[in-house]
Structure 1
Amino acid sequence: MKKVSFAEFGGPEVLHLIDTEKPRTGPGRIRVAVRAAGVNPVDWRVREGQVLSAHPTQLPAGVGIDAAGVVDEVGEGVDDVKVGDHVFGEGASTYAEFAVLSAWARMPEGLTFAEAAGYPSVVETALRVIREVGVRTGQTLLVSGASGGVGSAVLQIARVRGIKVIGTAGAANQDYLRSLGALATTYGDGWVERVRQLGRVDAALDLAGSGVIRELVELTGDAQRVISIADLGAPDLGVRFSGVAGSVPDALAEAADLISRGELHIPVEKSYTLAEAAAAHADSQAGHTRGRRVIVV
């Protein structure tokens, strides 16, 4: 089978498409014929060797944790899916023709494989950071870098829960944020004052790692009311960096429910082939995403 791999840490150029054996399932695991894989910032952070403490990596290594596909092999103890079922979930080395998943859910009706591959990690992350930052119904959440995959999920989940959201993004994504129910403003010079004009901020999320931690603490008045998923230096300023996943099966079940009820939709901004994985990573690192980037197999 074809699989994207890297033998050294570095830039997108270290990614190569190789031929290798299909992975085998173990107990409590399934193998899928991958139809699409989500492209996440953690993928290139792993490739660069940035997050070895959270993601120990033995070289050569595969890439990717999110996938949607057709169940191809079922491990011992798995009784909720069968060969031929369409699922989405998380696993390892998902930029490949076949991958083993450790958590999954059946794909909601009407969802394409490309769309489904964009949900697992971002919805788990969105649910986790909303919980960790402690924002409640009736309060206001500021989301810095709100137009990407996690931001898109946060805005919609917050809306369902009755949480007001102020989102920052580039000028081209202002209408997109408003379509998801947020009060929108641009980042750049004067952004803190523009946020203040939109209302009081009870909690804040840094999703882009754009060096705004001090300002988020200033706006909330409390470093404990700020969470970052993108700035590795956040703890130096008293802000928690959230990088450890919670219950992925629970997150997938909630995602499937929200999608089925029409309360969550994350668009696919751009798709790539396996051979274009390096370009996908370069684009992801450049930011300014609206929704999700995925690799279609």
Structure 2
Amino acid sequence: MLEVMELPTPEAGPGQVRVRVKAAGAQPYDTAVRAGWLPPGIGDELPRIPGNEFAGVVDQSDTIPIGTEVLGFTQLGGYAEYVVVGADQVAPKPAGLAWEIAGGLTAGVQTAEIALDTIGLKEGETLLIHGAAGSVGHAAVQIARRRGARVIGTGRPDNHDFLRELGAIPVEYGEGLRERLAPLGRIDAVVDGAGGQALDLSVELVADPARIVTLVDHGRAAQLGVMTTQGVRTAERLGRYARLVADGEFTFHVRRAYPLERAADAHREIETGHGRGKIVITVA
């Protein structure tokens, strides 16, 4: 259950920053928190505020000037007017970057780069991405292409032109996928954003299951011998991609922005499992 509540304003301690939030990304991680899942290291105290990525303006800190526009990450707390995090969990927001994009950037680009590092993608290899038009998927397409890989991306037909623009070879997902992939040659590695039958097929197509990383089917990863993302988010990485997006060198698509009071509607859309790009919550 999601409910808008009035809570005490948090205070920043030494080495922390308090950010007046402008926008926060929404993602399956948040819907899992709403359903009762606890991220590692988080206690079961209530109320529990979802949101692990945000953008806004620093209004309390002993390390970063007040008024600095930043984007950042946390475990919980992004769906709020104020969030407190360590100063090492924020990066400067480029002036030309829209708040909605800044608020939703972290999960997409950081997860994508960590995933590609996990499977050791190399120049000249062919990468298959299941769910290539999604938030992480469309970031992974571009990062892989920047690394010199050939990318095949599964998605609905209405997303195929979008995927082509990003440099991927689009393929419709669902029944008959194996046959549609066959003419495209060997697949060296997979980023799985779909799970289920798509992951099963990936294990059959790729010689080494350790070259497959699943973003969604964590419960079967060990059984199948595939990877889950191994790595930590960093402000350096976030700032690097924020600059690329602001400079027009990287695309990050925001599908829809919901006001905070409609966060439940945002979760309903996420749980459909379909859609291009990112959903964002606007806070101020």
TM-score range, shorter chain: over 0.9
1:229 to 205, 215, 218: 215
CA deviation map 1:153-203 (0-9, x unaligned): 111111111111100011211111111110000101111221221221110
1:232-251 mapped onto 2 (5 Å cutoff): 232=218, 233-242=220-229, 245-251=231-237
SS in 1 for 2:248: coil
CA contact (8 A) 2:253 2:277 kept: yes
Give the corresponding residue for 2:100: 114
2:81 to 73, 90, 97: 97
Give the corresponding residue for 2:250: 264
CA contact (8 A) 2:102 2:242 kept: no
Structure 2, unaligned stretches of length 5 or more?
A: none
> Aligned pair in 2 of structure 1 residues 259, 288: CA closer, same or farther (>3 Å)?
same
* TM score, norm. by length of structure 1: 0.89
* TM score, norm. by length of structure 2: 0.93
SS in 1 for 2:4: strand
Q: Identity percentage over the alignment?
A: 39
Inter-partner Cα distance in structure 1 for 2:245 and 2:259: 26
Q: CA deviation at 1:213?
A: 1.6
SS in 2 for 1:19: coil
SS in 1 for 2:261: helix
> Aligned pair in 2 of structure 1 residues 274, 39: CA closer, same or farther (>3 Å)?
same
Give the corresponding residue for 1:164: 150
Q: CA deviation at 1:59?
A: 2.5
Inter-partner Cα distance in structure 2 for 1:22 and 1:206: 39
2:160 to 174, 183, 193: 174
Q: CA deviation at 1:214?
A: 1.6
CA contact (8 A) 1:46 1:55 kept: no
User: Alignment length, in residue pairs?
Assistant: 279
Q: CA deviation at 1:211?
A: 3.6
Give the corresponding residue for 1:279: 265
Moved over 3 A (4+): 50-57
SS in 2 for 1:250: helix
- State the superposition RMSD in angstroms: 1.7
Give the corresponding residue for 2:68: 85
> Aligned pair in 2 of structure 1 residues 175, 57: CA closer, same or farther (>3 Å)?
farther
Q: CA deviation at 1:66?
A: 0.7
Paired amino acid for 2:129: V
Give the corresponding residue for 2:239: 253
CA contact (8 A) 1:30 1:100 kept: yes
Paired amino acid for 1:293: I
Paired amino acid for 2:81: E
Give the corresponding residue for 1:45: 32
Paired amino acid for 2:199: I
Inter-partner Cα distance in structure 2 for 1:210 and 1:59: 33
> Aligned pair in 2 of structure 1 residues 276, 210: CA closer, same or farther (>3 Å)?
farther
Give the corresponding residue for 1:183: 169
Inter-partner Cα distance in structure 2 for 1:170 and 1:57: 38
CA contact (8 A) 1:204 1:225 kept: yes
Q: CA deviation at 1:54?
A: 6.6
Inter-partner Cα distance in structure 1 for 2:41 and 2:152: 30
Q: CA deviation at 1:261?
A: 4.0
Inter-partner Cα distance in structure 2 for 1:56 and 1:209: 28
> Aligned pair in 2 of structure 1 residues 281, 142: CA closer, same or farther (>3 Å)?
same
CA contact (8 A) 2:214 2:228 kept: yes
Structure 1, unaligned stretches of length 5 or more?
A: 1-13
CA contact (8 A) 2:97 2:242 kept: no
Pick which of 39-48 and 207-216 moved more: 207-216
Q: CA deviation at 1:240?
A: 1.8
CA contact (8 A) 1:134 1:225 kept: yes
